[in-house]
Amino acid sequence: MGDAKWYAETKWLTVGSARKERRMKSIGLILNPMAGRDIRRLVARASLTSSTDKLQAARRVIAGVEHAEAVQVLLIDDWEGMGRALQADCGDVVQLLPGDRDNRPGNPERTRIWSKALEDAGASVLIIIGGDGTQRNAAECSPKIPIVAIAGGTNNVACWLGDETVAGYAAAMWTKHQPALAETGHQAKLIHVKSQRSADTLALIDVSLIRQRYTGALAVWEAREVMALLLAVADPARPGLSNVGGMVSKIAVDSDQGLFLSLNDGPSAISVKAVLAPGLMETFHIGHIQRVALGEPIFWQAQAGGTLALDGERTIVLAPGEQACLEIRRDGPWFLHPGRILERLAHKSATHPPRGSHFAF
């Protein structure tokens, strides 16, 4: 890169002076302290993802960002003090934005508010440490900037499972160079949910119809309670309800299809063992399997009532006979793949010495 181009991309000149300063690009970072802490630590063998674990993951993210140079990390000043701790540990690379310290953890609205605030503050990418529910909460505010989803929950179907330092460095390099989104990530499918008595909402990975007519501890951990599944992603290598579909017909994030399953124990049902949560396998009896096109409406009606679980969490209570309409669309935010970003970077920077070159060490 020539000096003039480098100057144009990374410097700005203060009017009336000769002082040159780097133009800092920004990444927004969100940690959900409540992710990875639900009842599946008791009914399955899922690990507890503590606040200390998330702080360490965030430190690794920031270490990767720092080595990309000229990129800063924006954090909201939170009730738990995580932002202040990271600023104290990591120095000037972290900039703390004022926040509502009374906005305590456990409120999904906080992720939505913070995602919008960080985008408005100039972040080019959001890095979100949490599970599928946390990533869904961010998607609900329709961010115009891409997300790097880092595993910090239970099933983490939507999340990067690799090293956080790699993810931070990749996100920072994307922020600096901004290659095409289609080459470095995917646009998420969303399952849009409409019911007669509740506000419209959405899921990122799966929606299930559950027999129980209460939300309770939210999580789903018993196969016998599941009546139907609609999956935007069906992955046999990740735990959760997505795993049920993945065991019979994989649906990738970039596939323009979804998967519908009805579950019963009739004579024509097929039995499938699936990983419902880490360390918990259950047998599901599948009566009907159908691939679903994007935009195709699916109607569910539970005669005795039930609940709709969004990404594995019981959320909407259905009255007896109440109908719900579900539709998968590719209209979600873009999710970046750290591996793809770095592969593209390596491909562009690689040099191939001519045949017969001599190397001395």
Say which CATH number the domain at 28 has: 3.40.50
Which residues, in sequence order, are CB contacts of 182 under 8 Å at separation 6+? none
CA distance 343 to 109: 35
Angle at which helices 338-349 and 164-177 pack, to 10 degrees? 60
Q: b/e map of 312-343 (b: 16 or more CB within 10 Å)?
A: bbbbbbbeeebebebbbbbebbbbbbbebbbe
CA distance 120 to 29: 13
Residues 42, 169, single domain; the answer is yes
Q: How many residues would you count in the chain?
A: 361
Residues 170, 249, single domain; the answer is no
- Are residues 194 and 169 in contact, defined by beta-carbon separation less than 8 angstroms? no
Residue 355 has pLDDT above 80, yes or no: no
Q: What is the mean pLDDT of the chain?
A: 90
C-alpha closest to that of 27 among 109, 116, 121 = 121
Residues 213, 313, single domain; the answer is yes
DSSP assignment letter at 225? G
Model confidence band, residue 270 (pLDDT cutoffs 50, 70, 90):
very high
CA distance 230 to 243: 12
Residues 77, 216, single domain; the answer is no
Phi and psi torsions of 164, nearest 5°: -70, -30
- Are residues 204 and 130 in contact, defined by beta-carbon separation less than 8 angstroms? no
Segments forming the whole domain that contains residue 87: 22-188+333-345
Mean predicted confidence (pLDDT) in 168-192 = 97
C-alpha closest to that of 294 among 252, 321, 339, 327 = 327
DSSP helix/strand/coil, 351:
coil
Tokens of 152: 């910090």
Residue 11 lies in a domain: no
Residues 292, 144, single domain; the answer is no
Tokens of 174: 């994307």
DSSP helix/strand/coil, 65:
helix
Mean predicted confidence (pLDDT) in 182-192 = 97
Residue 358 lies in a domain: no
pLDDT digits (tens, 9 = 90+) for 298-332: 999 999 999 999 999 999 999 999 999 999 999 99
Residues 299, 180, single domain; the answer is no
Residues 166, 259, single domain; the answer is no
Residue 8 lies in a domain: no
Please report, rounded to a whole number, the percentage of residues in the chain having pLDDT higher than 70.
Answer: 89
| Ramachandran region, residue 356 (left: φ > 0; alpha: ψ -120 to 50; beta: rest) | left
Tokens of 118: 């960080």
Residue 161 has pLDDT above 80, yes or no: yes
C-alpha closest to that of 72 among 92, 89, 101 = 92
Residues 213, 113, single domain; the answer is no
pLDDT digits (tens, 9 = 90+) for 43-95: 999 999 999 999 999 999 999 999 999 999 999 999 889 999 999 999 999 99
Torsion of CA 94, 99, 103, 109, to 10 degrees: -80
Residues 139, 39, single domain; the answer is yes
First-residue to last-residue Cα distance in the chain = 28
Least confident window among 13-17, 198-202, 343-347: 13-17
CA distance 301 to 346: 51
DSSP helix/strand/coil, 177:
helix
Residue 16 has pLDDT above 60, yes or no: no
| pLDDT (0 to 100) of residue 351 | 55
Residue 10 lies in a domain: no
pTM of the complete model:
0.89
Positive or negative, the Cα torsion across 85, 86, 91, 93? negative
